[in-house]
Amino acid sequence: MLTTSRARLATSLLSAPTLYAVALSALILPGVAGADALIDNVNGITLDKDGKVVRFTGLLMSPDGKVVKLLAENDKRPAKLDWRADEHGKVLLPGFIDAHGHVMELGFRALELDLSGATSLEDAKARIAAYAAANPDRKWIVGGGWNQEAWALGRFPTAADLDAVVSDRPVWLQRADGHAGWANSAAMKAAGITAKTLAPAGGRIEKTGTVPTGVFVDSARELVEKAAPQPLPKERDFAFLKAQEALLSHGITATSDMGSSMDDWLSYRRAGDSGALRVRIMSYAFGVDTAIRIGGSGPTPWLYADKLRMGGVKLYADGALGSRGAWLKAPYSDAPGQTGAGFMSDDVMRNLMSRAAVDHYQVAVHAIGDRANAEVLGAIDDMVDTYKGDRRWRIEHAQIVDPVDLPRFGKNGIIASMQPTHETSDRTMAEARLGPARLAGAYAWASMLRNGATLAFGSDYPVEQPDAFAGWAAAFTRQGADGQPYGGWRPEERVTREQAWWAFTGAAAYAGFAEEKFGRLGVGQRADFIIVDRDPLLASPTDLRATKVEQTWVGGEKVFTRP
């Protein structure tokens, strides 16, 4: 569009001297220069840098899809535009930014067996049997989304449970949190797993006596995964397009991709090269080696008009609470012999963080248990004197924190990257895992802000749905979609409606070093916005959760319209 606009201006300069003066005066008017398009007659709402609500009725955009000016009702509209869209008073918001998601996993979940809706073990078995019958040519049945806690099973599922419905080929299903896998006997046989198989460091094989039961936790999953068939590039590309479609339909215009593999990155590059990349991806490579293979001696530049950048490294300090892999300072209340496990020794963690930081990769460390969080905080304390400047150390999830460690999040520019819907999904399980005495620092969003941390929100899709409206409602109510518990779970950790919104927009952009690029519809930022069916600042929590995204725009281009 920029080239076309320049050609049009050149023609006017040659053909009409009087228009030259008009064009020149337009170029020097602040906030109107080069305006090419107008989204008009909107109930526009955003937040400024200070978190204050800004309302407007028109959005003026430049030819390259950037915000030129937010127009109030009485502001004069430009006389000449390439185009104007009248939204008839509909609500316009900045696009959401999911600070923590897994793009390719979301896409594959849409293409594989999805057990996220299963309400019991028997329901899951019925879905598995139906899927196997409908896909007789698949050599392996793969998928995920199961959660034994939601089934009130009181145990992990077993290979025998799977064998009862599929025994003729391998079945491998990831738990909802991605930190455990469930295999049938055929899958364990294909992977060469026997009673003599030992769990690798940072992993656990669930056993009865010495016999593996079929569940593999954290790094032990690799024992089965190495035997499973790997997707072809064309299958990866299709999975990416499915993920992108889902994100845009939820009003997610940008996302942090936590743990991009080299294959993932190549899919994003192919989409960008072909013009199919619509959502903005802030990529965090899976480990230091992957980051160096992609970026070499530092983060990549922004590519494809600010749609893709690999700027950081994702590391893991521990596992997840649901599979008892989160690393705790004291044993689990419901499993007294277990404390979870750290994935790295202190020296290894510091070495990897240092190797990333020396080349200015941003470091993001997964930490769920209180001991894991304390270890990462200690590592950051040790790093800051060596690696100075604006580092924005990220701690992903920060779910269970010892209250004595909460003030440490306000030091060293730490970003607490958290997911509100984890609290509403996990609260009863967290109570069982920890007991009431250790809940004071659990999902402690308000405490993070009070202690000076930057709070960025995401969903951890596909663990949860990439639904920012559900996360937004959970953040200021501490209640689930059912309105429970009354008054909110540990309500002292609620944040305000505006704080929650900022955590899903401006703060999430800041968390990825992208605050100058997008996040709040500021002048000069990319025009990433959504049209929705209600005013989220006036909606009840129930109505907020029911909000529908009608249109999604990225860089001034409409990329999704609800049918």
pLDDT of residue 202: 83
Query: Does 3 score more than 90 pLDDT?
Result: no
Q: Which two tokens stand for residue 387?
A: 């690696």
| CA 347, 300, 463, 412 torsion-angle sign | positive
Q: Which two tokens stand for residue 519?
A: 């996040």
pLDDT of residue 30: 36
Class of residue 531 by CB neighbours under 10 A (exposed 0-12, middle 13-18, buried 19+) = buried
129 vs 133: CA distance, rounded Å: 6
Residue pair 433/334 in contact by the 8 Å Cβ criterion: yes
Query: Does 237 score more than 80 pLDDT?
Result: yes
Taking all residues of the chain, what is their mean pLDDT, rounded to a whole number? 92
- Percentage above 90 pLDDT, the chain: 89
Q: What is the mean pLDDT of residues 236-259?
A: 98
Amino acid at 516: E
Query: Does 10 score more than 80 pLDDT?
Result: no
**Where are the strands (E) in 184-242, listed by range?**
203-208, 211-218
412 vs 415: CA distance, rounded Å: 9
379 vs 347: CA distance, rounded Å: 9
Q: Residues 521, 508, 517, CA angle at the centre, nearest 5°?
A: 40
Residues in the chain: 563
Find the distance separating the first CA and the last CA of the chain, reported in whole Å: 27
pLDDT of residue 546: 98
Residue pair 430/324 in contact by the 8 Å Cβ criterion: no
Listed residue (137, 195, 134, 189) closest to 167, CA to CA: 189
533 vs 551: CA distance, rounded Å: 10
Burial annotation 74-93 (CB, 10 A radius, 16+ → b, else e)? eeeebeeeeeebebeebbbb
Q: DSSP letters of 398-420?
A: --B--GGGGGGGGSTT-EEEE-H
> Which one has a higher pLDDT value, 153 or 249?
249
Query: Does 498 score more than 90 pLDDT?
Result: yes
301 vs 269: CA distance, rounded Å: 13
Query: Does 12 score more than 70 pLDDT?
Result: no
pLDDT of residue 1: 38
241 vs 278: CA distance, rounded Å: 9
362 vs 385: CA distance, rounded Å: 16
261 vs 410: CA distance, rounded Å: 31
What are the start-end ranges of the H helices in 29-137? Answer: 103-111, 121-134
447 to each of 382, 427, 511, how far by Cα in Å?
Answer: 23, 17, 18
Q: What is the pTM of this model?
A: 0.89
Amino acid at 488: G
Tell me the pLDDT tens digit for each residue of 272-323: 999 999 999 999 999 999 999 999 999 999 999 999 999 999 999 999 998 8
Beta bridge partners of 181: 174, 216
Query: Does 357 score more than 90 pLDDT?
Result: yes
pLDDT of residue 563: 92
pLDDT of residue 154: 87
460 vs 98: CA distance, rounded Å: 8
Tell me the pLDDT tens digit for each residue of 113-122: 999 899 999 9
Tell me the pLDDT tens digit for each residue of 181-203: 999 999 999 999 999 999 898 88
Query: Does 6 score more than 80 pLDDT?
Result: no
Listed residue (402, 422, 433) closest to 340, CA to CA: 433
Residue pair 89/497 in contact by the 8 Å Cβ criterion: no
Class of residue 465 by CB neighbours under 10 A (exposed 0-12, middle 13-18, buried 19+) = middle
Amino acid at 32: V
Query: Does 246 score more than 50 pLDDT?
Result: yes
5 vs 9: CA distance, rounded Å: 6
482 vs 460: CA distance, rounded Å: 21
> Phi and psi for 41 in degrees, rounded to 5?
55, 55
Give CA torsion, residues 522, 528, 530, 536, to 10 deg: -40
441 vs 395: CA distance, rounded Å: 15
Cis peptide before 157 (omega within 30 of 0): no
pLDDT of residue 25: 31
Q: What is the mean pLDDT of residues 216-230?
A: 92
Residue pair 443/321 in contact by the 8 Å Cβ criterion: no
309 vs 380: CA distance, rounded Å: 24
Tell me the pLDDT tens digit for each residue of 446-469: 999 999 999 999 999 999 999 999
Q: What is the mean pLDDT of residues 471-477?
A: 98
Radius of gyration of the chain (CA): 25
Listed in sequence order, the residues at least 6 apart from 557 whose beta carbon sits closer than 8 Å to its beta carbon are 65
pLDDT of residue 178: 86
Q: Which two tokens stand for residue 495?
A: 């944040």
Q: DSSP letters of 111-132?
A: HSEE-TT--SHHHHHHHHHHHH
pLDDT of residue 513: 98
Confidence of residue 28 (pLDDT cuts 50, 70, 90): very low
Residue pair 391/431 in contact by the 8 Å Cβ criterion: no
Amino acid at 59: L
Q: What is the mean pLDDT of residues 425-441?
A: 94
pLDDT of residue 35: 62
DSSP label at residue 34: T
Listed in sequence order, the residues at least 6 apart from 538 whose beta carbon sits closer than 8 Å to its beta carbon are none
Query: Does 33 score more than 60 pLDDT?
Result: no
Residue pair 173/127 in contact by the 8 Å Cβ criterion: no
Query: Does 40 score more than 50 pLDDT?
Result: yes
Query: Does 13 score more than 70 pLDDT?
Result: no
Query: Does 31 score more than 80 pLDDT?
Result: no
Tell me the pLDDT tens digit for each residue of 84-124: 999 999 999 999 999 999 999 999 999 999 998 999 999 99
Q: What is the mean pLDDT of residues 2-16?
A: 30
184 vs 371: CA distance, rounded Å: 33
Cis peptide before 485 (omega within 30 of 0): yes
